[in-house]
Amino acid sequence: MKQVIVILVLRFSDAVGCPAFSVSDAPMIANKESASRRLIASMITSIQFAAHSHFVYHRSMSVETNTDISVARIAAAIGEPARARMLYSLIDGHARTGTELAAVAEVGASTASVHLGRLMKEHLVKVVVQGKHRYYSLKGNEVADALEALSVLAGGARDKFVPNTPSYLRVARTCYDHIAGALGVQLHDRLKTLDWFAPSSNGRDDDYDVTQKGMEGLIALGVDLDATRQLRRRFAFACLDWSERRSHLGGAVGAALLDVALRRKWVMQDAGNRALSITHFGRRDMLARLGLQV
């Protein structure tokens, strides 16, 4: 609502019989004009007129327009062929190094770095640093869903990720002091499905807290959670597996589960290397206790 003063002044002048006057006539009507202004001022405080809604060019655009700009920016990031190849190579859920993504995109290392910086800026990919390696993966399920929807429109098939790790290490092995390889990834995914773990409140995206169900389950397996919490190391976190390029369970809880697996004869450690052999009893017991089929 807005107050329209000019129109009100003109209309009031007509109503009280004030004709148009020149500058030379001003002294003769000074008293009448002063009284008119006081009356008009009192009327304005109680009279409002509807203002027309219209677009103001110098003001901010609507939320919908801002969304359109964001969509266009993300589409431009995806639409560059080299970046598109990088993104679609990550849609299988396996992380890759910058060197591998450069090969996939058929560009040099420096160009790949620029492309990955753009994709990270638009929140399409994330990076995990482990040792001297930087592993890139899609930012989340929303990104994968968007790429899947675009692939339906475009058609065509994608190459499947094939690790070059020796098979005896890929099935199951130790990573420092926890279970890695396909078994480690399956165990991690199964325990998350069982709601044994939840994102940690410490602010680190890859750290876990144990839920009430997880506490009960780990204690039933023989894990001493009190002693595990007192260790001066990360409690539980998603550790990227170098052969599967997906996460297995690391930290103090991961080490405790390896101890459980060895004590319960789920796995046997090979002499002279990091490989773990899954026993027949281990397959049956993990299925019975965890619903994990390996």
What residues contact 141, with CB distance under 8 A and at least 6 apart? Answer: none
The pLDDT of residue 159 is 63
Q: Give the pLDDT of residue 253.
A: 97
What is the residue-level pLDDT of the chain in tens, covering all 294 positions?
444 444 444 344 444 444 444 444 444 444 555 555 554 455 444 444 444 444 444 545 455 567 888 889 999 999 999 999 999 888 877 889 999 999 999 999 999 999 999 999 999 999 998 888 899 999 887 888 788 778 767 766 566 666 667 888 899 999 889 999 999 999 999 999 999 999 999 988 889 999 999 999 999 999 999 999 999 999 999 998 888 889 999 999 999 999 999 999 999 998 778 899 999 999 999 999 999 999
Beta bridge partners of 199: 208
- The β-bridge relationship of strands 247-250 and 173-175 is unpaired
- Quick: pLDDT tens for 270-281: 877 889 999 999
d(Cα 231, Cα 51) in Å, to the nearest integer?
68
C-alpha distance from residue 143 to each of 23, 53, 222 (Å): 73, 38, 39
Q: For the segment 192-245, what is each residue's pLDDT rounded down to a tens digit? A: 999 999 999 998 888 999 999 999 999 999 999 999 999 999 999 999 888 888
Q: CA nearest 210: which of 189, 222, 225?
A: 225
Class of domain 63-154: mainly alpha
Q: What is the pLDDT of residue 24?
A: 47
Contact status, residue 168 vs residue 243, Cβ threshold 8 Å: no
**Helix, strand, coil proportions of the chain in percent (round to 5)?**
50, 15, 35
pLDDT of 158? 61
Burial 6-27 (b: 16+ CB within 10 A, else e): eeeeeeebeeeeeeeeeeeeee
| Residues 82 and 115 sit within 8 Å (Cβ to Cβ) | yes
Helix axes 181-193 and 280-290, enclosed angle (nearest 10) = 20
* Angle ∠(95,98,103) on CA atoms, nearest 5: 100
Q: Give the pLDDT of residue 270.
A: 83
Q: How far is 4 from 50, CA to CA, in rounded Å?
A: 9
Tell me what pLDDT residue 260 has. 97
- Domain ranges, ordered by start, for the chain: 5-44, 63-154, 167-290
| pLDDT score recorded for residue 20 | 45
